[in-house]
Amino acid sequence: MRTISEIEELFGVEPELINSWVSEFSDHLSEWAKPEAGRTPLFTEADTLALALVHHYWEDDPDLENIHALLNTGEQTERRFVELIHLNTPIF
């Protein structure tokens, strides 16, 4: 699992943006990513893949409906997203 700091580093974005992604796309994330108050969020590989897709399609005025639709179709499991995650996962 990854911490919010690791997600921040992976995508080069501020934690506030990650928090807004978690809020907007919570239906596509595990319970670990959106824990109850006082608990630290942790991101599974599936969560990280979903956030990789969100990051890829994010822009100044993102098409949220399209991003939700892509997540619903499972596009986050495409090779380009899987490779991004695996290439940025430490071996040890």
3-state secondary structure the chain: CEEHHHHHHHHCCCHHHHHHHHHHCHHHCCHHHCCCCCCCCEECHHHHHHHHHHHHHCCCCCCHHHHHHHHHHCHHHCHHHHHHHHHCCCCC
Report if pTM > 0.85: yes
Angle of helix 45-57 relative to helix 15-24, nearest 10 degrees, comes to 100
Gap between the Cα atoms of 27 and 22, Å rounded:
9
How much is the pLDDT for 91? 65
Place of tokens 């979903």: 50
Q: Return the pLDDT at 78.
A: 94
pLDDT in 10s for each residue of the chain, 92 residues: 999 999 999 999 999 999 999 999 999 999 999 998 899 999 999 999 999 999 999 999 999 999 999 999 999 999 999 998 888 877 66
Q: What is the pLDDT of residue 86?
A: 85
Q: HSE (CB half, 13 Å, CA atoms) of 28?
A: 27
Pairing mode, strands 2-3 and 42-43: antiparallel
| The predicted structure's pLDDT at residue 89 | 77
Tell me what pLDDT residue 92 has: 60
